[in-house]
Amino acid sequence: MEKFRLDKSPSAPPAYQQIIAFFDQQIKNRLLQPGEKLPPERDLAEEIGIARGTVKRAYEELVRRGLVEAFSGRGSFVAAEAVAPTEDRKDKAVRLIDQLLDQLSRLKFSAQDIRMFFDLRLLGREDSLRNLSVAAVDCNPETLKIFERQFLLIPNVNLAKIDLDDLFKDAGAASRLEIFDLVLTTTTHFQELVDRFPQIRNKAVQVAVAPTRTSIISLARLTPAQRIGILSESKRFQSIVLDHLRTFDIPAASVRTLFVSQLDRLDDFIASMDAVIVPAGYSLQKNREHLAALQAFTQRGGVIIPFDYQIERGSLLHVEERLRSLLDEDKRNGQ
C-alpha cells in the first residue's frame, strides 16, 4: 500500500475526504487486497497530525460504502467484496451538499449567511413550476418511510403517505385520491388498489422495493446460534425480515419480535438478545430511559442492525419519467 500524504493547502478538500478518496483508490486498484487491515485510527491520525475523530469519520464512510468492514477490538479491514454500491439520489445529494458547505465554510461565511443563500435560490426556483402531488400507499409504515426518504430530494413533489387499511375504511377514499397527480404503491398492493379504485388506474404506478446490499450482508453474518430480535412497527415489516432470515437458515421460530407499541419492555428484550434488527432510520437511543440497557447491550458485544430497503432503480426511473412528463405538460399548458 502506498503511504498516505495529507494535502494541507488552503484549496485542498477536508482531511476526511482525502482519506476516503485515498483508500477508495487503493482498494479499487487492488493495492489493498480483500481482508487486508487498514492502519489503526490512532496510528494514522498521529502519523499525519490530525484528530483521531477525523480518521474515524473517514473509516465509517468507507464502511457505509461497502469497501471496508469494521470489527470491534480488531480494527478495520478491506471488505471481502470491496465493490462500492451504486450511489443513490439521496446519498449523492448529501455528498454534494457537504462538499458545498465545506467550501462555503472555508470562505468564512456564517451558518446564517449560508442558510440565506439556500433559501433565496430555492425561492427563485420554486416559483417557476407548480409542485406535483404524489400519494404513497402501503400497508406498513416502514415502506411508507422508504417512499418519503427517496422522494425527499426530488424537486417539485409533495408526497403524502397513506396507510392502505385506513384508505379502505374511508368512505370518501375515492375523492381523496382524485387530488393526486400520481398514486404510488408496491407491486404487492397494486392490483388490489386499482381494483378497488378503478378511476385511478391511469395515475397509479407500481414500484418494486428490495433490501439494500448493506442490509443483506448484515443479515448474512448472523447465525442460528445467536439470539436474534426484531423491533418492528408493523407485522408486515416483521414478516419481511423473517423471510430474509430464513434464506440464511435462521428459523422464524427462534426469532423474537418486540413491537414499537411495547417499548416499555425494551430493556428486558435487548438484555436477552445478541443482535437486534431495527427499521432503517430508527434509533433506540432516542428513548433516554433505555440508554443504560442499550449501553450494557453494546458493551457485551450486542449488535444493532438497521434493515433498510429501497425503491429499485428501474422503478424509480419510471416514476421520475412520469413526473417529468407531468411537469412538461404543465409547461405546455402555461401553468
CATH code, 15-78: 1.10.10.10
Alpha-carbon distances, residue 88 vs 10, 21, 84, 197, 310 (angstroms): 30, 18, 12, 32, 10
The pTM of this model reads: 0.54
Q: Where are the domains of the chain?
A: 15-78, 86-128, 133-211+310-335, 213-307
Q: What is the DSSP letter of 68?
A: E
Q: Which CATH superfamily is domain 213-307 in?
A: Response regulator (3.40.50.2300)
pLDDT tens digits, 151-184 = 876 777 889 999 999 999 998 999 889 999 999 9
CA distance 223 to 258: 20
Measured distance CA(153)–CA(144) in Å, rounded = 16
- Residues whose CB is less than 8 angstroms from the CB of residue 239 and which lie 6 or more positions away in sequence, other chains included: none
Rounded Cα gap, residues 243 and 333, in angstroms:
48
Q: What is the pLDDT of residue 51?
A: 92
Q: Name beta bridge partners: 159.
A: 134
Set of cell numbers at residue 3: 503511504
Question: Which one, of 200, 197, 266, 176, lies nearest residue 230 by Cα?
Answer: 266
**Grid cell of 106 as nine digits:** 472555508
User: What pairing do the DSSP bridges indicate for beta strands 157-163 and 182-186?
Assistant: unpaired
Q: Which CATH architecture has domain 133-211+310-335?
A: 3-Layer(aba) Sandwich (3.40)
Contact 36, 78 (CB under 8 A): yes
For residue range 1-22, list pLDDT tens digits in order.
Answer: 678 889 888 878 889 999 999 9
pLDDT value at position 223? 94
* Residue 234 DSSP one-character state: S
Which residues lie closer than 8 Å to 251 by C-beta, 6 or more apart?
224
| Mean pLDDT by groups of 10 residues along the chain of 335 residues | 83 89 86 88 92 92 88 85 56 76 79 70 55 90 84 81 92 90 93 94 92 90 95 90 94 93 91 92 73 88 89 86 83 64
Residue 13 burial by CB count (10 A; 0-12/13-18/19+): exposed, middle or buried?
middle
Please state the φ and ψ torsions of residue 329, each to the nearest 5 degrees.
-65, -40
Distances (CA, A) of 232 to 86, 193, 225: 27, 25, 22
Domains 15-78 and 133-211+310-335 share a fold: no
